[in-house]
Structure 1
Amino acid sequence: MRLIADENISWRLIKLIPHWSILPSNEIKCERRLTDFMIWEYAKANNYTVLTFDEDFSELQNLLSYPPKIIWLRTGNVSTSEIASLLLKYEKRIEAFLTDDESGIYEIHG
């Protein structure tokens, strides 16, 4: 599972789910502030799934299709440990989503 976490998701998530491959978007080398489109393009070029709270990625997918796939956290303001718990709770469903060629977005409500 290769995920790129949008900038509004704490890098501390990596420590809470160490068996997942999560790249914080702030580790993408860029000369200026990253935009959602730049994260999208990086994820597409490097075979990552975008992990985000941001509706903008859903809109990008509506315009550009997929890849990349999106895991959209629709939880409101929750702690990093709560995010980790939700992701682990839905781990099997997320794995199934990532192998499903018919789906481009997986929404997690909390």
Structure 2
Amino acid sequence: MKLLFDQNLSRKLVTRLADIFPDSSHVQFEGMTEADDSDIWEFAKVQEFCIVTQDADFAERSRLNGSPPKVLWLRCGNAPTSRVEARLRSGAETIQEFMRNASLDCLEIY
């Protein structure tokens, strides 16, 4: 399962979570630091990434367009990277189920 971390999240998450989410990336690593949401959406769709973001815009786009790509919307506010990592680790099983379920487009994680 490939996650694409949005600009509003630390790029350190890629290496910190590589054991449970291998092949993940960050928009910065993909040369998309200045890309707009539409470009990130299309990139994630083509490359089969799930977008991980704190940005409500991607969740809204998911509601309007469906998936792919799927969206993990982190609703934990401006949390430290360690807390974001912990939430993704504790929700790993739920995230895997979400990724397998073709009828779900967006998963909110609090």
TM-score after normalising by structure 2: 0.92
Q: Among 27, 33, 36, which residue is 2:29 paired with? A: 27
Contact kept in structure 1, 2:5 and 2:53, CA below 8 Å? yes
- What is the aligned length? 108
Alignment of 1:62-77 (within 5 A): 62-77=63-78
Shift of 1:15: 2.5
Q: Deviations over 1:8-42 (max 9, x none)?
A: 11111123212223211012235x82111111100
Contact kept in structure 1, 2:45 and 2:68, CA below 8 Å? yes
**CA distance in 2: counterparts of 1:84 and 1:33, whole angstroms:** 24
**In the alignment, which residue of structure 2 is the partner of 1:11?**
11
Runs of 4+ with deviation above 2 angstroms: none
**CA distance in 2: counterparts of 1:22 and 1:37, whole angstroms:** 19
Contact kept in structure 1, 2:63 and 2:106, CA below 8 Å? no
SS of equivalent residue, structure 1 residue 51: strand
| Segment of structure 1 superposing worse, 5-14 or 56-65 | 56-65
TM-score after normalising by structure 1: 0.92
Alignment of 1:25-64 (within 5 A): 25-29=27-31, 33-64=34-65
Counterpart of 2:77, as a letter, is: G
Identical amino acids, percent of aligned pairs: 31
SS of equivalent residue, structure 1 residue 45: helix
Counterpart of 2:79, as a letter, is: V
Structure with greater strand share of residues: 1
SS of equivalent residue, structure 1 residue 28: coil
Q: Deviations over 1:50-100 (max 9, x none)?
A: 000000001211222211000000001101111110000010010000000
